[in-house]
Structure 1
Amino acid sequence: MRRLGFALLVSVARAALDFESVLLTSEHTKALPAVDFAKGEGRLPRSGCKAWPGGKDWPSDFEWRLLNATVDGALLKPTPPSTVCYRGPNFNVDQCSYLLNNASTSDFWIEDPVTVLTPWTQGLTCMPALNATGNCTQGGFPVYVLNATTVKDIQAAVNYARNKNIRLIIKNTGHDFGGRSVGAGSLSIWTHNLDAFELIRGYKKGNYSGTAAHFGSGLQGWQLFNHMFLANLTIVGGGFRTIGANGGWMAGGGHGNLASFHGLAADQVLELHVVTADGRYVIADEEQNTDLFYALRGGGGSTYGVVTSAIVKTYPPATLTSSLLSIACNPPPDTNARARFAPIDNSTHFVNDTARFWDALHVYFRFKPAIVLAGGVDWDYLYPLGNNSYSFRTRITYPNASPTAAEALLKPLYDSLASAGFTFTLNRTELTPTPYAGTAITPVSPGSNGLQNTRYRSRLIPHSNFASDAIFNRTFAAIRSVTEEGGYTLHGLAIGPSPKAAGYPGITAAVHPAWRENVLHLAYMTVQPPNLTPKEAREEEDRANRFLKPLRDITKGTGSYINEGDPGEPDWQASFFGANYKGLLKIKRKRDPWGVFWAPTTVGSESWEVVTLDGYPRSQNGRLCRVEGGKGEWDGE
């Protein structure tokens, strides 16, 4: 991390983290008017498109250097990591080999300022490959990256982008499946290094009184868990260790192991520190900037402002007791081929008949409401292996349950399996409580080597779909068909962040209302091959929507989880935001009349479109322009 240099220290509101005390001042704006704050009534620029590199409205190299001086050298102009695989000045065979073989077992991709886990949204213009041919281009990656370590950095970037009409994007860890952290011809605010953490003893806000945690938007899950270990307390975190504990995960709702017990990440927030589209640094809570406080807790990221830090609730230290259930049907003989999808070991139950395999899963999925009602969650992976072969693996986790209590909660499941003719035995070796806040952990790879082009399509399944055998049977048939007939991998979670679990002040958040009645979050995954033509990509999108239509039809009125949703989701406004969309759009218009913040399938994004250079659907490799016929203002209601 770079040094802060001579940055001006300014006293700000109570509970600000150290990096939030360094603010943009009039001295900076006088020296560089391009970073001045917004004045007067906001409106969209006259140009129908954002500035484009090489165009007459794009800042000169000298102007970019002036911005870099204002932010004390924090402005980067990075190239895609895979340039080392292509003939040119950066070509390096050893480094290319490292990207392909070793980078995914390190922090390399997380520490890179441009990389995201799903490069298909970038346009696939520079994929790592030995003996790569063709050219490596920037594509949908940003032109400049602001490595933010102070609020001043973020304010300067927001003001510069607004005043110069430059596309602005926000990137944290790169756990982005919808193209919201990439954008051609853009300036990116990289919040990765805003990882400060502190505890606030005796914090009082509304109905909350006790210890609160205050941390920056760049803090990762593994760092959060280690702070929990040192403090002997619990804070709601994500399911993967390199997910940002704040930022887009929280803004989109944010689920994890404690969601049925303590609610979503958005339900934990007591106070937010934010840089808004006018460049101001504000605090949002139940007493001030209440519209932002509402919208930023579940109303989507990259939309209303840049969250610099959050103050959240803490809980007494918790334990997580889990049990593993693994079922395989006609697994292929090649051990390596099976292990690529899911481990098959001594704890796996084998079923040789496909119909019997689905019967076992029918029993298991019928049990999911019981998991949620007990405050638990599960994490399922169902892999189609070809030739009527499948592998299913799930881990059921109960917070604050002893092994004996967890076994009692699981007994009805195994009784139901026995009644259906399955002699599955409870895996007692897994019934060991793990202190959620009591074990120090190390970071792990995000699981991407630049080739794992996962594309997610998701759906929220409510309690009403489990209310009777008849409706559940139709629901399960739709769930089954997407994998059995469509060939899509299923990632499912029994997860129920009910109003009771959300508590105060979560019940007032902008979280999609469907979450409050949810039992099952389903995500269907496929790998987007890097060699698909635009025509083939459109055909695959149409195919996925056809297979998912019966599931969407039987869950009308619910929705999809935006953080694991698809940028091609039909009627995304209703799917990702539900009845909250109209109110959120009003907040967007009020807070960002300039259109500073834009990302696909976020509130207000339908007023803009990416004119792609490659014709690839949902690609961010193109200029951002207002939709044809736009008149320089937000669409009417």
Structure 2
Amino acid sequence: MAPLRLNLALLGTLATQALALAVTRRASVASIPESTWDAFNETISGHLRNGEPMLAPCYTRYNGESQTPDHAQCANLQKNGGDLTFATGQFGYYVQSQWGACQTTGDSCTFGAIRPDILTPILDKCEQGSVPTKYVDVRSVEDVQKTLVFAGENNLRLVVKNTGHDYMGRSSAPDSLALWMHNLQPPIELNKDFIADGCSESSGDSITFGAGQQFQGIYDFVEPLGYRIVGGSSVTVGAAGGWITGAGHSMLSNELGLGVDSVQQLKAVLPNGTHVTANRCQNQDIFFALRGGGGGTFGVITEMTTRVYPRKETQFVQMVFTNLLPVQQRRLLDILVENGEKWAEEGWGGYITMFNLGTIVFIATPLLTHDEAVESMKPLAKFATTFNLGIVKVQSTESFREGLDPFVQIQELGIFPGSAWALSSRIVKRESFVQSKQEELSDILSDFLNVQQNPLEPSMQILVVCLTMPTVYSKTMPESDLPGGPGHASIAPHWRDGIWQVLHFRTYDGSIDNPKLVQRIAQRAHDVMEPLRAFTPGSGAYINEADPWEPDHINSFWGEENYARLLRIKREVDPGNLLMVHQGVGWEESDARFSCYPDVTA
């Protein structure tokens, strides 16, 4: 009966919160007098800006009014829009372009995938879409504090944005004010034998950095010092934003754990403007919530301190298989499934990207010697030689950054300017890899690649198998970080027993502005995951890389016990629900900020 009582308690809490929120109506940004905006801007050192889509300077019509295009700026944007370092430094940019649009109305401001695109800005119009109307270019903790207080006092819709790496649309909303954290980048500091505030013992060597710091800068900092760090494979992701608040997986997660496992201290501004320090010794509820509870929900992280680890020889395997026949693709899937659990136990981490007639394998392990890694990869090597697909080589390096760079280059090239991505995902636990289930798992994954393509829904199908679960780490994780301990993170329990994270992408041209077509593509990406969901009962998805319409998202993202604690914390720190995101803790589905999400049937 205990689970039933918990369910009823959760339902009662949700119902109470929903009733409280139902009477809340957010004010339009346009309803705030200019004099009020001007006065606010003075308190934040002039850091208030008008938000506009990145490509707005290219268009002759913007938000229904004629304008003179800035041809020099437009040429620069078109030339560099595919450079993620440049693009993520623009407020109006979103890596998945649909989140800058209003997908239910077709209002958007993007180009086709082929650049330069001269005709679109002449023949089409640029609309605000879901790009926040105004934003604060945050340069200090005080900017965050004053913005949160201002938004609360004026009942404004508020979002938090860092780099625009956002699969769920949490960093955009129509008619909103945004906190743009990207430029909060004080110098990174190395802390030898770091002792968190209020603690008495060292937790090891760590680095401290600001909320806007991207992994590019972090890797550049730690590499010459002889360290590794648990970090993302995309170097333009912000380390202290959605990545860490969602869990933060890495090629090194198998050995070293998730991002939330390495974090030693977070500083954040709560919705009421209070700046707090959270770690395993103080503000443990906040520390719990900010490590897995989801971005843009409990507070705004301004500073993060996380462990760094000594260099270690790592074995890398990179292989590109092209022009695979269906029978070859299926055999490759069988090999991956048959060896999935074994390779996880051997420390392999990385990414296997499969599409139509090709596959990219990029994996690494720091737990095997070169000879052991060669032996481990024999099934893959045999596959390659059998079909005359090349030689699987294992390369050793003590520089993780050096080993990672080739994949970074491939990945960055794979993100086309103006592309949109519909996706769904699932964490596949150890129990799904037993021999009796392997064929069915291979069947399901094979179907992902062979789903009949509707010519009226132009999109490319991609299957990504992420070997980024903390398989080895979770067996020996510190007792203090287990459930009930001061370092427990709010991620769902299935992370600790996961072997793979499987993602299904449908990429399409972001200039498509037909709401019905966009909805159908999103619906198809949602539906295709159903067989894997059914095959993996009791599992879930990674909140940062999930289907935006994830079924049973509470259990999928957190589990009921974690969610009950998160909801209690949410109501304590943000009773007015100032910070709210789609499928976040305590979200209210009827809020107008979600009006641009397609109507996908879960």
| TM tier, smaller | 0.7 to 0.9
Identity of aligned residues (%): 27
Deviation at 1:179, TM superposition (A): 0.5
Cα–Cα, structure 1 residues 90 and 559, in superposed 2: closer, same or farther, change >3 Å? farther
Shift of 1:613: 6.6
Structure 1 residue 561 displacement after superposition = 0.9
Contact 2:334 2:442 in 1 (8 A): yes
Query: 1:198 maps to what in 2?
Result: 189
Asked if 1 retains the 8 angstrom alpha-carbon contact of 2:321 and 2:389, the reply is no
Secondary structure of 1:382's match?
strand
Equivalent residues of 2:29, 2:177 under 8 A apart: no
Judge conservation of contact 1:142–1:184 (CA < 8 Å) in 2: yes
Q: What secondary structure, in the 3-state scheme, does the structure 2 residue paired with 1:210 have?
A: coil
Q: CA deviation at 1:163?
A: 1.0
Q: Distance in 2 between matches of 1:440 and 1:460?
A: 23
Offset, 1:105: 2.9
Partner in structure 1 of residue 27 of structure 2: 51
Measured in 2, the distance between the counterparts of 1:157 and 1:202 equals: 35
Give the conservation status (yes or no) of the 8 Å contact 2:95–2:165. yes
In structure 1, what is the Cα distance between the partners aligned to 2:402 and 2:326?
Answer: 42
Using a 3 Å threshold, how does the CA distance of structure 1 residues 614 and 375 change in structure 2: closer, same or farther?
A: closer
Structure 1 residue runs of 5 or longer lacking an equivalent are 1-42, 332-350, 385-389, 619-637
Written as runs of structure 1 = structure 2, the 5 A alignment for 1:112-511 is 112-122=90-100, 123=102, 125-128=108-111, 129-131=117-119, 132=121, 133-196=123-186, 197-205=188-196, 208-328=202-322, 331=323, 351=324, 353-384=325-356, 390-399=357-366, 401-411=368-378, 413-414=380-381, 417=383, 426-428=391-393, 430-436=394-400, 448=415, 450-468=417-435, 470-486=436-452, 488-498=461-471, 499-500=474-475, 502-503=477-478, 506-507=481-482, 508-511=488-491
What's the offset of the Cα at 1:402? 4.0
1:513 is aligned to 2:493: yes
Report the more deviating stretch, 456-465 or 74-83. Answer: 74-83
Task: Give 1:149's aligned amino acid.
Answer: R
The structural deviation recorded for 1:66 is: 1.0
d(CA) in 2 for partners of 1:46 and 1:257?
A: 43
SS of equivalent to 1:120: helix
Whole-angstrom distance in 2 between the partners of 1:288 and 1:608: 35
Output the amino acid matched with 2:586: G
Letter in 2 for 1:500: K
The equivalences for 1:612-627 within 5 A come to 616-617=598-599
Match of 2:551 among 555, 570, 573: 570
The structure-2 alpha-carbon separation of the partners of 1:148 and 1:504, relative to structure 1 and needing over 3 Å to count, comes to: farther
Which 10-residue stretch deviates more, 173-182 or 439-448? 439-448
**Structure 2 Cα separation of the partners of residues 213 and 80 of structure 1:** 34
Separation in structure 2 between the aligned mates of residue 308 and residue 400 of structure 1, nearest angstrom: 34
The 1-side partners of 2:426 and 2:38 are apart by 46
Alpha-carbon deviation of 1:242? 0.7
SS at match of 1:111: coil
Does the 8 Å CA contact 2:233/2:404 hold for their aligned counterparts? no
Q: Over aligned residues, Cα RMSD in angstroms?
A: 2.8
| SS of aligned partner of 2:351 | strand
**Is contact 2:173–2:593 with CA below 8 Å preserved after alignment?**
no
Q: TM-score, structure 1 length as denominator?
A: 0.79
Which of 105, 113, 127 matches 2:83?
105
Structure 2 CA distance, aligned partners of 1:193 and 1:502?
34
Matched AA of 2:447: S
Superposed CA deviations along residues 166-202 of structure 1, whole A, max 9, x for unmatched, are 1111111111111011111111111112223112223
Q: Could you say if the C-alpha distance between residues 441 and 538 of structure 1 is closer, same or farther in structure 2, counting changes exceeding 3 Å?
A: closer
Deviation at 1:130, TM superposition (A): 2.3
| Deviation of 1:294 (Å) | 0.7
Q: Contact between 1:259 and 1:501, CA under 8 Å: does it hold in 2?
A: no
Deviation of 1:300 after TM superposition, in Å, equals 0.8
Partner SS for 1:477: helix
Taking the aligned partners of 2:94 and 2:285, their CA distance within structure 1 comes to 30
- Distance in 1 (CA, whole Å) between partners of 2:96 and 2:348 is 30
Uncovered stretches (5+) of structure 2, i.e. residues with no partner: 1-18, 61-65, 112-116, 454-460, 483-487
Question: 1:511-550 maps to which residues of 2 (within 5 A)?
Answer: 511-529=491-509, 530-550=511-531
Structure 2 CA distance for aligned equivalents of residues 199 and 615 of structure 1: 42
Which deviates further from its counterpart, 86-95 or 563-572? Answer: 86-95
Whether contact under 8 Å (1:264, 1:502) holds in the other structure is no
Q: Retained in 2: the 8 A contact 1:266–1:297?
A: yes
Q: How far does the alpha carbon of each residue in 1:34-84 deviate from its partner, in whole angstroms, 9 at most, with x for none?
A: xxxxxxxxx968953211133xxx321111111111011111113222122
Hey, what's the Cα distance between the residues in 2 that align with 1:292 and 1:136? 40
**Aligned partners of 2:337 and 2:438 also within 8 Å:** no
User: Partner residue of 2:4?
Assistant: none
Alignment match, 2:10: none
Secondary structure in 2 matching 1:241: coil
For the residues of structure 2 that align with 1:45 and 1:414, how far apart are their CA atoms? 58
Residues 84 and 95 of structure 1 are in contact (CA less than 8 Å); yes or no, is this contact kept in structure 2?
yes
Q: In 1, Cα distance between the equivalents of 2:87 and 2:183?
A: 14
Give the letter aligned to residue 126 of structure 1: C
- Sort the Cα spacing of 1:174 and 1:615 in 2 relative to 1 into closer, same or farther, 3 A: closer
- Tell whether the 8 Å contact from 1:82 to 1:127 is kept in structure 2 after alignment: yes
Q: Does 1:63 align with 2:36?
A: yes
For the residue of structure 2 that corresponds to 1:284, the secondary structure is: strand
Give the C-alpha shift of residue 493 in structure 1: 1.1
Whole-angstrom distance in 2 between the partners of 1:509 and 1:364: 30
Residue type of the alignment partner of 1:172 = N
Instruction: Please give the per-residue CA displacement for 1:291-325, whole angstroms capped at 9, x wherever unaligned.
Output: 11111111111110001111112211234321123
Structure 2 distance, partners of 1:138, 1:447, is 26
Task: Give the aligned partner of residue 345 of structure 1.
Answer: none
Q: What amino acid is the match of 1:200?
A: N
